[in-house]
Amino acid sequence: MRQDGQPIWVSGENTAVPLERVTLLKSGAGEHAYDEAWLQHLLHAQPQVLPIDRIEPGFGALIPVCRELPLVCGAGRSGALDNLLITATGGLVLVETKLWRNPEARRSVVAQAMEYAAAVFRMSYDQLQTAVDTARKAAGEPVMPLAALAAGPQEPSDEVFFVDNLTRNLRRGRAIIAVVGDGIREDLVALTKLLQSHAGHRFVFALIELGIYTVPGTDARLINPSVLAQTTLIERGVVRIEDGGPGVVRILAPAVPPSAGAPVSPAGVGIGADEFFEILDQQQPGAAHMLQGFLARADAHGLYPDFQGGLNLKHPSPKGHPLNLGTISKTGFLDTSPATWWDRGPPGRVYNETLAGLIGGHVKEQKTAQQSVLRTAAGKTPRLSDLLPQHAEAWLEAVDRYVGNFLTSDG
């Protein structure tokens, strides 16, 4: 177990009590209340304790679906995934809870997590729904459609979009796979390097530690989540995990080959980026390749992509919040009036006027004089293809002027 220092509970001016860490025990080991089953219940009841935003920024709030999802693993084997969670847009999180002190919590824990993930990825949407129904019924929870679980009681969601997106994620094997426990072994940290170098099609694998502490005088517990190690998403096509035995766990999901001449980055990408470019290309064939080429050139101008549902074109600012030069939706539209421009003032209008001149459009005033937005000649939101590839260089020159004007202005 890592030694990161003991938390101190400070009450008043003169009382400081070191918090005692709860030791999780293997299920069935005596009458201790804290075991793997307790950890599963915690994640199902309070999914926010998983630090998903540190693993995949913009992934979305987690919605608990079920515990003990029944799986058919092949070769006569079956099993049950400890926790299944989703997002409102069809994102998948697959969790295995393990106590790192167990003798089996070494190479086998990763092999098991990967085998269970492979079983989930082989499912169709309807098969997953059936397995979820079985798990929820066994736990005494109401059986309901996945789309209804994702929507929640607040407002109806786009069921067609949710079903399509979750189906696509199953087919692509696109998910966050997390092994969650109360400690870590150094050999497990090394296993993520194995995943990084040997594997990765469209999933991100993470090791998460939950430090659990008692709070003096109450039955409350302090939960301290830490991401100990994680992979990025690297497309290889085949995931191969060997455990020294006769079996080899594989996930066969060939990666989509890049378009001819597309820029190739040695670094991994996130699930959000992978999903964004896939949907963008479905909406506008060739748009992903076109945008990736633009981003490669934009990097030299200080622009970087921030995936938060859409793609935000951002530039660092010494004045605080990063500058946002526009938001590109998954459907290929460009919005140049995001709220995160933060008092951009006149430089923002000049930027929009420059882009309007390139596409033969105009600038529309928003709520205040501080806000303006780019529109086509027909008064519509422009598409990415209105600017790219023909105006790529002029767009980047407009970015440089905007950044320079903003940094020399009063706001």
361 inside domain: yes
265 inside domain: no
110 inside domain: yes
259 inside domain: no
Residues 31 and 76 in one domain: yes
Residues 35 and 146 in one domain: yes
Residues 173 and 320 in one domain: no
Domain boundary among 188, 221, 252: 252
Confirm if 321 and 314 have CB atoms less than 8 A apart: no
**What would the two tokens of residue 324 be?**
């946002």
Domain boundary among 202, 223, 252: 252
Paired with 180 in beta bridges are: 97, 208
pLDDT of residue 220: 85
Q: pTM above 0.85? A: no
Residues 240 and 282 in one domain: no
The phi and psi torsions of 72 (rounded to 5 degrees) equal -110, 115
264 inside domain: no
How far apart CA 53 and CA 306 sit, in angstroms, is 13
**What would the two tokens of residue 298 be?**
């934009």
Give how many domains the chain has, as a whole number: 2
Other Cβ atoms closer than 10 A to 271: 24
Residues 193 and 53 in one domain: yes
Residues 50 and 146 in one domain: yes
pLDDT of residue 344: 60
Structural domain harbouring 306: 271-408
Residues 149 and 202 in one domain: yes
37 inside domain: yes
Residues 284 and 178 in one domain: no
Region for residue 345 given its phi and psi (left: phi exceeds 0; alpha: psi -120 to 50; beta: otherwise)? left
SS3 content of the chain, % helix, strand, coil (to 5): 35, 25, 40
Residues 114 and 208 in one domain: yes
CA-closest candidate to residue 363, choices 355, 371, 374: 374
Residues 225 and 300 in one domain: no
Residues 229 and 278 in one domain: no
Confirm if 180 and 97 have CB atoms less than 8 A apart: yes
263 inside domain: no
359 inside domain: yes
pLDDT of residue 262: 39
Residues of the chain with pLDDT under 50: 1, 31, 197-200, 234-267, 339-340, 411
Domain boundary among 218, 252, 286: 252
Residues 283 and 221 in one domain: no
